[in-house]
Structure 1
Amino acid sequence: MIQRLNVNTEVLSTYIRNSNTPIEYLRQKLPNIDKFLKGELEPTFNQVYALSKLINIPTGLLLLKEPISASSLNVDFRTFNSELLSDISSELKDTIIEMQEKQEFLKEIVENECPFVGIFTFDDDYSDVILKAKELLGNEITRKRFDNYRKILGQLGIFIFLNGKYKDNTHRPLNLNEFRGFVLSDKKAPIIFINQLDSKTGQFFTLIHEFVHLLYGDSDLFDGEDSKKRSKTEAIINSITAEILVPKELISDMFDNQIDIRTSLDSLSRKFEVSKFVILRRLYDLSMLSRKDFMSLQNELEAEFKLIENIKKNSGGGNYHNNLLFRMDSNFFNHVNNAVQQNKITYTDAFGIVGVGYKGYKILSRGG
C-alpha cells in the first residue's frame, strides 16, 4: 500500500510561486500537481521529492507545517555550554532540513513505532526516566560505550547521524561553537544528529542527551519556548544524562579524596569514557567537591580544552571511506538501498536522499 503524506498545500503553493517555475511545466512532469495544490490528493514522498527537484529547493522545506525563510527559522537544541541561539547559520539550517527530509522518507518506509518515544512528561519523577533509560540501554559500564549505545539505540529504532560539514561539502563546515547536536522526535523515525567536530566524549554526551529528549518526545525544533523554560528543560535533561553516564553509586564508590584530584579526574574520565568536565561537574553536584576547587579546576580544564582544540585544527581530515561509514546510519542506508532494489526510487533519487555522490554510495553499499 502506497503511503501518502499530509502536506500543507500553502507550503507547496508558496515555494512553487517563489521558484517562478511555470505551472504548465509542473503539470507535464507531475500530472496530479493541481490535485496536490487543492488538497484533493495527498502526494507520496517520491512525488514531493520530484517536485523539490523541479523547483530546486530541499525536499524538507515542502514537508514543513508552514513556509519559512532563513531569517524566520528559529531553533533551540544542544549548543556549546548549553547556550541558546537566536539565529543560526545556513549550514545548520540546511542540515536540519536534510535530516527532516531523511525522516519523511523513513516515515513512509518504517512500519513499527518506537513505544518509548514521548512516554514521559517533565512533571514525571526524574528517577522513573533514569530507570527507563537504563532499562533500554543496559546497566553495565562497558568499553567503547559510544559504539555500544549507538548500536543499542539503532536496534531500538533510532536513526543516528554524525557529520562535521553539510552533506559531503567540505566547503561548508559546521560550527561546534554553534551547536553540538539536535534530535527530531517521531514515533516511527526518531533522528539524532551529532556534530562530528566535537570530541569523542562530547559526541557521547550528546548521544545520550538527545536520547533522553526522545523519552520526553521533545524535538527542540520550532517549538517557540521561551529561553527560561528551555534552560530549565536542558538542566533537567543534563542531570538525567549525567546519571546515566556517571551513576552516583559508582562514582561515589570509586572517588578517593585522598588521591590528587587531577589524577582522579583523569582516571574517572577514562573509566566512564566521558570528559573531565562531566566528571568534575558530577563530583560538584554530588557535594564531593567544594565550589572553590570546582571553579579552579574548571578554569584549568577550559585552558586545556582550548589547547587541544588548537592542535586538532592543524590535524588532517582523516580517511573518507571510514569517516563516511561512521557518520552514516547503516539502517537508514539499508532502507534507501532496498527502495532502489525494489524500483521504488532511482539511484539518482537515492544519492539525493542519502546526501552523497556515486563514490560515496558505492562505499556505503560495500559497508565495512
Structure 2
Amino acid sequence: MGEVDCVSVRVQVEPALLRWAVERAGWSDDQVAKRAPKLNAWLAGDARPTLKQLEQFAQATHAPIGLLFLPTPPDEPVPIPDMRTIGNRSISRPSVDLLDTIYSCQSRQDWYRDYANMHGYPHVEFVGSARLSDNPLTVAGHVRQLLRFEIEDRVSFPSWKEALRGLIDRIENAGVLVMVNGIVGVDTHRKLDPREFRGFALSDPVAPLIFVNGADTKAAQIFTMVHELAHVYLGQSALSDAALAKQTDNDAEKWCNLVAAEVLVPMMDLRGAYRGDPTVAELTRLARRYRVSTLVVLKRLFDGKFLQWDDYQSRYADELSRVMALLKAGEGSGGGDFYNVHPLRLSRQFARAVITDTLEGGTQFRDAYSLLGTKKHQTFQNLVEKIGAA
C-alpha cells in the first residue's frame, strides 16, 4: 500500500523551492528539459508532482527532500569564511557541489580530530603561528624549511608534476590532511568547477585540512596548495580563488598569495637566475630550476616587476594555451587507476587512520565505507592493500 501511495499521491511544493533546487544544482534550460520535463507544469500550478517524482527530482538536484517541503527556500551560506571575489564583490550562491564537498571534508575532519585526540596526537605547532602583519618572505622561508622544499631539495623531483605529489606527502608529514579531488566524492558526473573555487582550508589545532580542486590545472593546484597552507599558518579556515592571473583586494588572500609565490619561487634567487627575456625557453629553464610550472614562473616575473600587468596578462594567456595544448597532446589515458587516484582524493594520512581504526575495531565497517567513499568490502580490502595501515 505504501509503495502505491508513493507513486500515486500528489504533494504540494512551493514553486520557489523547485526553482531553488534547480538553481542550486546549476542546471541549464536544456538540463531542466531533459531531467525534469514536468517542472514548468509544477511551477505554473498546472500539475503537482507525486511523492515518487519529487524524490527523483530531489535526488537529481542533490537537494535533501525534506527541504523541499519548507515554505521558503533555506539560506545556505558557505560554512567557512568566503574570500573569493569578482572585482570587489563576494560571490553569492554556492553550488551544491561546493557545499557537499565542504560538508564532506568537515565530516572527515571531525572524525580525524576525535581519532587524533584519542591517540594523544600533539597540536600542529604552526597552525595559527602567523599574523597578517608578519613578513610573507619570512613565513615563506619557514614553510620551505618545514617542508624541506628549498631549491637544493627539489633536485630529487624529476619535474614539477612530481614536485606536486612530493609536496602533498611533505605537507601531510607535517600534520595537515591534504585532499585533492576534481569531483564530488567519487561521483564522476559531478565535476567541480575551478571557476567557482580553487581550494579551501579548514584550520584546526590537531586536524588541519587542505582541499585542492583537482579539476584545475596542475600548475594551479601546486599554487593553491601552498596558498591554503598559508591560511593554516594564519589559523584561518577560508574558501579561496587563489588565481595566478587575477588580482584581489582581500588582505588575507594577498598575503597568502605572496607566501605561496615566495615558497615556490624565492624572489631573491629569481633576480639572480633570470636572464632578462621571458621567452618560452627561458620560462622552461626557470621552471626546471624551481620545479614549478612556467605559469608560476610568469607570475613571479610579474611580482618582481619584470613585467607590467597588461603584458603579464597577455603572456599568461598565451602560455596557458600552450601548456594546455601540450597536456591534451600528451594525456590520452583518462583519469588513471581508481586505487592510485582515490588515496589522493581522501588524504593518505586520513585513509590510513580510518583503515587502522577499523581493523582494530574502533570504527564500524559501514562507517569506514562512508568515510572512505566506498560501498563494497572488496574495495575496502583493495584500499588496505594499496594504502596500508598506520
* TM-score in terms of structure 1 length: 0.71
- 1:252 paired to 2:271: yes
**Alpha-carbon shift at residue 80 of structure 1 (Å):** 10
Over aligned residue pairs, what C-alpha RMSD do you find? 3.3
Which residue number in structure 1 is paired with residue 136 of structure 2? 126
Residue type of the alignment partner of 2:234: Y
Percent of pairs with identical residues: 28
Structure 1 CA distance, aligned partners of 2:383 and 2:85?
30
Alignment partner for residue 73 of structure 1, among 71, 78, 81?
78
- 1:360 paired to 2:370: no
Alignment partner for residue 165 of structure 1, among 173, 176, 183?
183
1:112 alignment partner, SS class: coil
Which residue number in structure 2 is paired with residue 47 of structure 1? none
**Alpha-carbon shift at residue 353 of structure 1 (Å):** 1.6
**Alpha-carbon shift at residue 115 of structure 1 (Å):** 0.9
2:250 alignment partner, SS class: helix
Alignment partner for residue 91 of structure 2, among 85, 90, 96?
85
Q: How does 1:1-368 map to 2 (within 5 A)?
A: 69=74, 71-73=76-78, 75-77=81-83, 84-110=90-116, 111-138=121-148, 139=150, 140-142=152-154, 143=157, 144-220=162-238, 231-257=250-276, 261-291=279-309, 293-304=311-322, 316-358=334-376, 359-367=378-386
Which residue number in structure 2 is paired with residue 19 of structure 1? none
Structure 1 CA distance, aligned partners of 2:344 and 2:190?
19
Residue type of the alignment partner of 1:366: E
Residue type of the alignment partner of 2:267: K
Structure 2 CA distance, aligned partners of 1:248 and 1:165?
35
Larger Rg: 2
CA contact (8 A) 2:201 2:228 kept: yes
Structure 2 CA distance, aligned partners of 1:312 and 1:135?
34
Residue type of the alignment partner of 2:266: P
Offset from partner CA, 1:162-219 (integer Å, 9 cap, x none): 1111111122221122111111000110011111112222221111111111110111
2:301 alignment partner, SS class: helix
Residue type of the alignment partner of 1:71: E
Structure 1 CA distance, aligned partners of 2:309 and 2:303?
10
1:367 alignment partner, SS class: helix
1:94 alignment partner, SS class: helix
2:211 alignment partner, SS class: strand
Residue type of the alignment partner of 2:285: S
- Stretches of structure 2 lacking an aligned partner (at least 5 in a row): 1-62, 65-72, 241-246
Structure 1 CA distance, aligned partners of 2:86 and 2:296?
14
Pairs aligned (count): 298
Residue type of the alignment partner of 1:255: Y
- Stretches of structure 1 lacking an aligned partner (at least 5 in a row): 1-56, 59-67, 223-227
CA contact (8 A) 2:147 2:174 kept: no
CA contact (8 A) 2:127 2:233 kept: yes
CA contact (8 A) 1:121 1:216 kept: yes
Offset from partner CA, 1:73-94 (integer Å, 9 cap, x none): 3652569999953221111100
Offset from partner CA, 1:116-173 (integer Å, 9 cap, x none): 1001111223233223212312223412322322222212111111111111112222
Q: Structure 1 residues 176, 305: closer, same or farther in 2, change over 3 A?
A: farther
Identify which range, 268-277 or 85-94, moves more after superposition. 268-277
Q: Structure 1 residues 120, 260: closer, same or farther in 2, change over 3 A?
A: closer
CA contact (8 A) 2:141 2:263 kept: no
